[in-house]
Structure 1
Amino acid sequence: MIRVVIADDHPLLREGLRRILEFEEGIQVITEVGDGQGAINIARSQKFDVLLMDLNMPGVNGLEACRVIRREHQEIGILVLTVDDSDEKVFQVLQLGVAGYLLKDVEPKTLVESIFKVNNGEPILSPAVTGKLLGQLSHPPQYKQNYGLSDRELEILTYVVKGASNKETGQALFISEKTVKNHLSSIFRKLEVEDRTQAALKAIKLKLVSLD
């Protein structure tokens, strides 16, 4: 059973989300809160798996709550559900290591599927957010700092940003899956990140790769 907490300052939206999730087998909404401090308090007092988090809330906002909860409870999967798709906010939130970023116009079926995926450790981005991230790669700077990455590592990083698996990357570059993993370990170390999602986000922020 996936235990879910809903954090949103609009009671009607919280009620709507609860009704959607109550009909799904394998999901249990354990409580609702109306601000970021409430989410922090629940994370400190109860055990649950996935937090549906709005960003624009009074008092302690969702961004600050994400920062605190990620630092104190890395086992909780945070799925941001918001109307704010500004470039700045998207990058701020994803750099905190949240599990997913969805907009509130998401279909109920997609929301439910996303909760299951987040619980399984899979990163989730709405198509609109993905488009923004990829759009950041369309105009690389004239001078590019490679942060010690080799040409091969930059190639592999490009496939990471595209969402390719290690196997798919190896096939495209005619190298073994093990070689891809070795390069990824080196990439993570040089970029000072811990996983593929963080590597992709940092590559986009630093404009290390360009997608045509």
Structure 2
Amino acid sequence: MTIRVLIADDQAMVRTGFRMILSAEPDIEVVGEAVDGVEAVTAARDLDPDVVLMDIRMPRLDGLAALRRITRPTGGPKVVVVTTFDDDEHVREALDHGACGFVLKTSGATLLVEAIRAAASGEALVSPAITVRMLRGLTARRPAPRDVPLSPRELDVVLLVARGRTNAEVASALHVTVGTVKTHLASVQGKLGARNRVEIAAWAWESGLLGGER
């Protein structure tokens, strides 16, 4: 299945760069571009993309406001926020309003593509540096959840995800395939009742599985 993508960013060079990266992927098609939030909302309605790559700071209507207008409880495109601004407030607001990913523009092509594929499949992917920084503060604010029986290999996967590793990096570290990593994550999600890898990572930090890491 081809993933149809809309790129929303006010910088022409960024849109061109994203289009070049995504056009090289056999399962991704760029169906349109938008130069601000107003155009993004209109294009999302008219083009019906599977995924919208959304910048935060754009003229007329910023990306977070456009995100709130595009996302719906059922149906509609998934939104991956791609930005140079990584403060925690923006990250939380984006995820609270339905974003399926938050990726820094400096993260590189591999993570960008992985975030699009994750969003299209109903997952959420946040840049590793952001994930770890946000989750480190959870251990002091929330009680540890109940114990959940994970297999040794599932625990290996969870610990690496909690440290911000991508599926490909987890697979490389454990000498397994990416498909095997996804299988383990699906099993862990079922056991934890987690919606995505971000909640899995949060559970690991809240449970104290990362020890005294900072």
- Is this a same-fold pair by TM over 0.5? yes
The size of the alignment, in residue pairs, is 176
CA distance in 2, matches of 1:41, 1:124: 25
For residues 4-15 of structure 1, the aligned pairs below 5 Å read 4-15=5-16
Q: For the Cα contact (< 8 Å) 2:125–2:197, is it kept in 1?
A: no
CA distance in 2, matches of 1:17, 1:113: 13
Runs of 5+ consecutive residues of structure 2 not aligned to the other structure: 149-154, 163-183
Q: For the Cα contact (< 8 Å) 1:77–1:118, is it kept in 2?
A: yes
Counterpart residue number, 2:112: 111
Alignment of 1:196 onto 2:198? no
CA 167–22 in structure 1, closer or farther in 2 if over 3 Å, else same: closer
Deviation at 1:71, TM superposition (A): 2.9
| CA deviation string 1:112-164 (max 9, x = no partner) | 22222221222111111111221221433xxx6x7xxxx8x5445xx999768
CA 18–135 in structure 1, closer or farther in 2 if over 3 Å, else same: same
Moved over 2 A (4+): 71-75, 153-156, 159-169, 195-201, 208-212
Give SS of 1:122's match.
coil
Query: If you compute each CA radius of gyration, which structure gives the higher value, 1 or 2?
Result: 1
Asked which structure has the greater RCO (Cα within 8 Å, sep 6+), the reply is: 1
CA distance in 2, matches of 1:18, 1:69: 21
For residues 124-143 of structure 1, the aligned pairs below 5 Å read 124-140=125-141
For residues 138-153 of structure 1, the aligned pairs below 5 Å read 138-140=139-141
CA 119–168 in structure 1, closer or farther in 2 if over 3 Å, else same: closer
Give SS of 2:30's match.
strand
Runs of 5+ consecutive residues of structure 1 not aligned to the other structure: 170-176, 185-194
